[in-house]
Amino acid sequence: MKVLLINAPAADIPIAGVDGKRLGLINIISPPLGTSYIAAVLEKGGFKVSLCDAQSLKMKLDDIGKTILEFKPDVVGISCFTPNYQQAQKVAELSKHLLPKVMTVIGGPHVSFTAGQTLRETPSIDVVVRGEGEETMLELVKAIAGKLPLTGIDGITYRVKHLIVNNADRAFIDDLDTLPFPARHLWSEKYIKRGMHEVPILTSRGCPFGCVFCSTSKMAGHLFRARSPANVVDELQSVVNDYDFNRFVFNDDTFTLDNKRAIDICNEIVERGLDITWACSTRVDSVTPELLSHMSEAGCNMIYYGIESGNQNILDRFVGKRITIEQAKNAVKLAHDAGITTVASYIIGFPGERADKAFESYLKKAEYGRTYEGDLTGTVFETLACAEEIESDQAQVHLLTPYPGTRAYDEAESLGIKILTTEWWRYNLQLPVIMTNTMSVEDIWSAFVTYMREFDTYNSIRYQRRLKHMRREQFYS
């Protein structure tokens, strides 16, 4: 029994973005851990598996077709996010067209919350796997191989004649140390040629918070489940040894949620003499000088903080992140003190934020480095002013986007959000798909364009400053 796992290609975006240029969509070569974990579990179960990452490797449907015909799978497993869901549907159609007897299975953070609808509108998809996929996919493939009924398999949605059946939810994997390491031996050699500069690794799943725009707590549970430090560092070491790679990115949502575990991982890296560098994401309220100094010593040189808004009221009442702006300022400063570069991420378009045309037109005319007086409180530009005070090395902005599985989607109306479209390809965080009780879609877009331009300047000025600083340090040392 052969299984081909395909990461659907990125959405093909037919429109021009800010300033008439194509949208600056994420162009990072990042091999997918979800399908790599599933591949490892299936291989351990005795199945022959191949991985086809059409997303990072920018494969077209024709190339995917060739891969399908060469490998001749019995099962095709497709992975997608929200914006490339339509591409995933095309991959399913193509699979059935080329191999009419193939079973098609789909999973990932979009279809997990739209399973019934996905099956209703996509006859070429046979089964949707909801949530964490490793155990479910193994049971499913075993059932397909043995021609057994799907009735007892938790976590799937499928068709029985004209009915759509939702089996019970699957319990989350209790002990993540029991999982094999992702099947990196199936990764394409093209990743390196195409510029992959860091290897992703995942050390924990789940989040006890429930930020309005994020589906992690629903997808991976409210309980923070973490791998042991030894198990994590074994994986880092195996990548260094087997692939001679020493730059990593921790894909965890909140790498340092458990400070003690994070310090133990750092100590283990140092004790084993691993010469690596790495980046991670975390919350501004879960770092301390002690932790950051351990992280820096163990090779961490970049932290990504989700700060989200510069308005405390919006953070408290709407976002539900349970952080303060003071904590954000402090966390950025502490990271810099420890010699770690920071990237701060912000979101605009929250209900309650007001447009401010006067300030927007002032910004259009002003030179960077200007000062401004006046009250931006409650306007969409309060976050911009705050970002300038927080002074992270880099700043990013996204539009509030109500992905299925988030509170912004499930409770849109009561939160003051009007969802304007479910053309999923638009859900890329850079196109407005909502309006709010305080901003029209035009207001949101216009503010976003201003932010993109302001943050471009902000980032390049900080980049130049950092370069100068580095040169000075190198010169005098």
Contact residues toward ligand B12 (CB under 6 A) are 7, 10, 25-26, 28, 30, 32-35, 37-38, 55, 77-79, 81-84, 105-110, 129, 132-134, 137, 200, 202, 214-216, 251, 253, 403, 428-429
Complete DSSP assignment for 52-85: EETTTTT--HHHHHHHHHHH--SEEEEE--STTH
Query: 157: which 2 tokens?
Result: 């949605």
> Residue 432 binds what, of ligand B12, ligand SF4, none (CB under 5 to 8 Å, by partner type)?
none
Report which of 117, 116, 118, 100 is spatially closest to residue 8, judged by C-alpha positions: 118
Per-residue x/- track, 298-317, ligand SF4 (CB under 6 A): --------x-----------
Per-residue x/- track, 282-301, ligand SF4 (CB under 6 A): -x------------------
> Residue 210 binds what, of ligand B12, ligand SF4, none (CB under 5 to 8 Å, by partner type)?
ligand SF4
Environment class of 162 (CB within 10 Å of its CB; exposed 0-12, middle 13-18, buried 19+): exposed
Q: How far is the CB of 316 from ligand SF4 (least distance, A)?
A: 14
CA dihedral (372, 374, 455, 31) in degrees, to 10, reads 150
| Strand 163-166, strand 204-205: pairing | unpaired
Cβ 257 vs Cβ 224: under 8 Å: yes
Determine if 225 is a binding residue for ligand SF4 (CB under 6 A): no
Q: Candidates 38, 129, 199, 207: give the one binding ligand SF4 (CB under 6 A).
A: 207
Q: Which is nearer to ligand B12, 215 or 309 (CB)?
A: 215
Sign of CA dihedral 354, 356, 360, 366: negative
For residue 436, the cross-strand partners are 417
Residue 400 CB-half CA count within 13 A: 33
Cβ 196 vs Cβ 248: under 8 Å: no
**Which range in 47-55, 69-77, 202-210, 450-458 contacts ligand SF4 by CB under 6 A?**
202-210
Residue 437's identity, in one-letter code, is: N
Q: Which is nearer to ligand SF4, 67 or 259 (CB)?
A: 259
Determine if 209 is a binding residue for ligand SF4 (CB under 6 A): yes
Q: Candidates 64, 214, 307, 348: give the one binding ligand SF4 (CB under 6 A).
A: 214
Q: How far is the CB of 137 from ligand B12 (least distance, A)?
A: 4
Q: Which is nearer to ligand SF4, 210 or 378 (CB)?
A: 210
Cβ 369 vs Cβ 295: under 8 Å: no
Q: How far is the CB of 148 from ligand SF4 (least distance, A)?
A: 36
Q: Tell me which residue has tokens 């970002």.
A: 387
> Residue 282 binds what, of ligand SF4, ligand B12, none (CB under 5 to 8 Å, by partner type)?
none
- CA angle at 447 for the pair 442 and 452, rounded to the nearest 5°: 125
What does DSSP assign to residue 430? Answer: S
Determine if 429 is a binding residue for ligand SF4 (CB under 6 A): no
**Which range in 109-117, 203-211, 437-445, 457-465 contacts ligand SF4 by CB under 6 A?**
203-211
Determine if 73 is a binding residue for ligand SF4 (CB under 6 A): no
Determine if 252 is a binding residue for ligand SF4 (CB under 6 A): no
For residue 399, the cross-strand partners are 348
Q: Which is nearer to ligand SF4, 73 or 109 (CB)?
A: 109
**Which range in 62-70, 207-215, 355-363, 368-376 contacts ligand SF4 by CB under 6 A?**
207-215
CB neighbour list of residue 258: distance below 8 Å, 6 or more residues apart: 224, 226
Cβ 128 vs Cβ 159: under 8 Å: no
Q: Which is nearer to ligand B12, 253 or 360 (CB)?
A: 253
Q: Which is nearer to ligand SF4, 188 or 330 (CB)?
A: 330
Environment class of 92 (CB within 10 Å of its CB; exposed 0-12, middle 13-18, buried 19+): buried
Q: Candidates 211, 340, 399, 408: give the one binding ligand SF4 (CB under 6 A).
A: 211
> Residue 221 binds what, of ligand B12, ligand SF4, none (CB under 5 to 8 Å, by partner type)?
none
Alpha-carbon distance of 4 to 79, in angstroms, equals: 11
Determine if 32 is a binding residue for ligand SF4 (CB under 6 A): no
Q: Candidates 157, 216, 311, 383: give the one binding ligand SF4 (CB under 6 A).
A: 216
Alpha-carbon distance of 306 to 297, in angstroms, equals: 23
Q: Tell me which residues touch ligand SF4 (CB under 6 A).
A: 207, 209-211, 214, 216-217, 253-254, 283, 306, 321
